[in-house]
Amino acid sequence: MDGRLATIYDVECPWGRDDDFFLATVGETPAARVLDLGCGTGRLTLALAAAGHTVTGVDPDRASLDAALAKPGADRVTWIEGTSGVLPRAAYDVAVLTSHVAQEIRAEEDWTRTLGDLRRALAPGGRLVFDSRDPAARRWERWNPCDSRRRLALPDGTVVDAWTEVTEVRDGLVSFVHHYLLPGGDELRSSGTLRFRPEAELRAALAAAGFTVERIHGGWHREPVGASDDGELIVTARAAG
């Protein structure tokens, strides 16, 4: 990630209802050893540490970790550049993947390996909590230059015009480009592809990896699947003992 994109990301993605949900859910295990896999610039990671948990943030993107390290309270967190393959055995009570990081793991063999790594990294009975958009909600249809148009005010006063466009939808994969138009005409672009997995597929993969699904919510106020405009599949699973 370009350092400028990390700054834009923090402005575009402030604290929200999803963070409230994850903070409260992790808090069900007081003073937990917490893994934040795909921690990004550390918004939730730092809040978990401030709440009294022992937190490790893992992310493969150096610029994101550098942005996290520059924030107040960063010294309370253990930061690791890498993926799930670097995780130690039975080291965590709770693991979270937030901001739809699970969807960034596109290839099924990578998803299977990641779930296996997480199962190994959690203590027996430890919890895995993550969010994944419900493909039935078809949220990508809102990712177009009209509906997604927005203006972002950066900390230095710069105003950025932003929009998103989908470039391809195929076989459960949605590819897109975020456009950020800077004053003077320069444009930054951030492209990505997300895997949209239905609920049954998530359940099957978790069971194969040694997890028991405790609950799946459809929205950040713990609504049933399909009953919220949030269009989420918010999963809480427990590692087999």
**Tell me: the pLDDT tens digits for 86-102?**
999 999 999 999 999 99
Confidence of residue 36 (pLDDT cuts 50, 70, 90): very high
- CB-CB contact of 55 with 36 (8 Å): yes
Judge whether residue 51 has pLDDT over 80.
yes
pLDDT in tens, 121-162: 999 999 999 999 999 999 999 999 999 999 999 999 999 999
Count CA atoms closer than 13 A to 61's CA, side-chain side: 17
Mean pLDDT value across the chain:
96
Q: Where do the domains of the chain lie? A: 3-135+196-239, 137-194
Rounded mean pLDDT, 62-84: 96
Range 3-135+196-239: architecture per CATH:
3-Layer(aba) Sandwich (3.40)
The dihedral through the CA atoms of 7, 9, 13, 19 has a sign that is negative
Angle at 119 between CA 37 and CA 117, to 5 degrees: 60
Q: Evaluate whether 233 touches 134 at the Cβ level (below 8 Å).
A: yes
> What pTM value is reported for the model?
0.95
CB 224 within 8 A of CB 232: no
DSSP codes joined into one string, 52-69: T-EEEEEES-HHHHHHHH
